[in-house]
């Protein structure tokens, strides 16, 4: 049986919040269905680490459960504990691995499935299961080219051949992670697939997983029996320009002021090149609106010349000067005199400002933008749970 707990918001009063974070569950569920269809006949898991990429496990997990998702991946045990509150009957895999038998006991008590990332992890889990007299499930992570976590391919093959060591484990999933899946022509993709297939063949009749979001679109061979999309759940599929965004982020205008050409704006005093109308919005890097997205002409820039920007009353409005901790200044001159008022909301992420554009302006990726979003926004949930 599955719980359906759901938080309608985060308790921040919308009348005084500096911004609003809108999460569209219908869009999220549509993304999951599209990814599941692309993965078929493999099953599709949901990666909900980092508090469901910053959107809230409390709302994301029940939505995915309603679409039939029964496998979840988190990074840390405490994240798994939160997911378990909403998913009584799901498999919850924890990617962090083990550090001691005490941690192994914690996994068992919370009904979480550890991902074993080393021979040390294998030994800890084997010894723990022997101590309690029960072979509890685990996943085996193999490094096929990421050079991060995981047993080496030779270590995994040796484990498969050692009947006593292998027999001490209840391995329910063999997995690896692609290093260059977002570059379809990269030769490492095929090399990793070939290495993983060797390991998979050594562990027959066990679920296998290789593809995360981008890997799903490399072809059927990469799907194995379980795909595990993460970022694609939250920002949509590649080249799906017409897709409705899951996340809309808006910031409240707290002051509108006129400034003359030649005046300096914000820290570092970026010089205006024209007479301007400026809107000061209640958002900054303390809210996850990254300082690296500061406006053009600022010394810290050098990745994307135009810097960041928002959307207001049908017009793009660029960031002026440096993004500060709590405030960001936008040039709203082209919106029109007297059209911008205190209390207006500038769209920072949404249909008119794709998150990919926001990330590019800050010299980063959508993952960092989502997981950086702070707690001072009023969170509003729309769509069916």
Helix-strand-coil split of the chain, %, nearest 5:
35, 25, 45
Cis, peptide link before residue 133, omega less than 30° from 0: no
How many beta carbons lie within 10 A of that of residue 242, not counting itself? 6
Asked whether residue 325 is marked as a ligand-binding residue, the answer is: yes
Residue 267 annotated in active site:
yes
Beta strands in 144-201 (DSSP E): 151-152, 170-175
Residue 138 and residue 114 in contact, taking contact as beta carbons nearer than 8 Å = yes
CA angle 13, 244, 289 (to 5 degrees): 50
Query: Considering 49, 53, 250, 289, which one is annotated as catalytic?
Result: 49
Residue 69 and residue 32 in contact, taking contact as beta carbons nearer than 8 Å = yes
Asked whether residue 315 is marked as a ligand-binding residue, the answer is: no
CA-to-CA distance for 62 and 74, rounded, in angstroms?
15
CA-to-CA distance for 300 and 282, rounded, in angstroms?
22
Residue 229 and residue 216 in contact, taking contact as beta carbons nearer than 8 Å = yes
The radius of gyration computed from the CA coordinates of the chain, to the nearest angstrom, equals 24
Contacts of 254 (CB under 8 A, 6+ apart): 18, 280, 281, 282, 327, 342
Residue 304: both structure tokens together: 């994307």
CA-to-CA distance for 210 and 180, rounded, in angstroms?
12
Would you call 147 helix, strand, or coil by DSSP?
Answer: coil
Query: Considering 234, 244, 250, 267, which one is annotated as catalytic?
Result: 267
Residue with tokens 């691995």: 97
* Of residues 43, 25, 207, the one with CA closest to residue 35: 43
Beta bridge partners of 259: 276
Annotated binding site for substrate: 148, 325
Active-site residues: which are they? Answer: 49, 267
Please state the residue numbers annotated as binding site: 148, 325
């Amino acid at each position: 049986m599955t719980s359906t707990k759901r938080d309608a918001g985060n308790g921040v009063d919308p009348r005084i919040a500096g911004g609003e974070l809108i999460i569209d569950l219908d869009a999220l569920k549509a993304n999951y269905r599209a990814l599941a269809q692309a993965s078929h006949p493999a099953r599709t898991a949901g990666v909900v680490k980092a508090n469901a990429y910053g959107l809230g496990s409390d709302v994301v997990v029940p939505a995915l459960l309603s679409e039939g998702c029964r496998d979840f991946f988190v990074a840390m045990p405490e994240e798994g504990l939160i997911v378990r509150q909403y998913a009584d009957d799901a498999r919850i895999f924890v990617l962090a691995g083990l550090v001691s038998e005490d941690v192994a006991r914690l996994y068992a008590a919370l009904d979480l499935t550890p991902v074993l990332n080393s021979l040390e992890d294998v030994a800890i889990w084997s010894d723990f299961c022997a101590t309690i007299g029960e072979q509890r499930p685990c996943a085996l992570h193999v490094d096929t080219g990421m050079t991060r976590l995981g047993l080496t391919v030779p270590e995994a093959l040796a484990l498969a051949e050692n009947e006593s060591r292998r027999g001490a484990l209840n391995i329910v999933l063999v997995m690896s992670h692609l290093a260059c899946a977002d570059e379809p022509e990269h030769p490492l993709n095929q090399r990793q697939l070939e290495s993983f297939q060797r390991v998979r063949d050594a562990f027959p009749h066990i679920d296998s997983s290789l593809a995360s979001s981008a890997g799903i679109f490399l072809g059927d061979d990469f799907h194995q029996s379980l795909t595990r999309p993460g970022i694609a759940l939250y920002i949509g599929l590649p080249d799906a320009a017409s897709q409705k965004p899951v996340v809309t982020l808006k910031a409240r205008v707290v002051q509108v002021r006129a400034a003359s050409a030649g005046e300096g704006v914000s820290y570092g005093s970026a010089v205006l090149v024209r007479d301007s109308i400026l809107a000061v919005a209640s958002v900054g890097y303390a809210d996850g609106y990254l300082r690296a997205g500061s406006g053009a002409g600022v010394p810290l820039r050098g990745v994307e010349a135009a810097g960041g920007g928002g959307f207001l009353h049908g017009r793009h409005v660029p960031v002026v000067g440096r993004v500060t901790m709590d405030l960001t200044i936008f040039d709203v001159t082209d919106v029109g005199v007297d059209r911008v008022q205190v209390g207006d909301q500038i769209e920072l992420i949404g249909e008119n400002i794709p998150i990919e554009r926001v990330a590019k302006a800050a010299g980063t990726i959508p993952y960092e933008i989502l997981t950086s979003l702070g707690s001072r926004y009023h969170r509003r949930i729309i769509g069916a749970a």
